[in-house]
Structure 1
């Protein structure tokens, strides 16, 4: 395989895999929450810590704005008690590229 061929096919495949990984992560979170909700009536089997960790995370889509800025939606900021000036950690997974669009 030449460098030219690999560059053209590898990037779209990699982006598809990253998008799939992001979707899988959201699905796994939903499934874990569903299981935890079902297990909440039974004895604590050490899942309370995991549930607590999940309640401090959020997954959402947002657009990249000028100067590379992203916005955290109001609902997520309120749910996670995030305020202006707080430091947060992000994981970026490109979802869709609309390079032909002029809307920002």
Structure 2
């Protein structure tokens, strides 16, 4: 290490210089995040830079997710399931509407011997 390197290190470590260095590093780290958030909120899907990731249609997907509900229900005779009143009301689902479901078994009522 040369004397010049030692002086430079001491200069950076002085409180005013250290604070400026930290502020610069923080700004460089948060700028891409701010740009990505701005893109997400505006729904922009244009060209991207190396600092701004391509979010595609993420804002559209988030909008779709706000129209989803997750709940547990029992399978009734004939394979029927019911959508609880609160979910139907929240999602504005009425009789005759077509909905998409994803079924994930949670707990089986039957014995393992029945298989």
Give the TM-score of the pair, scaled to structure 1. 0.50
Normalising by structure 2, we get a TM-score of 0.45
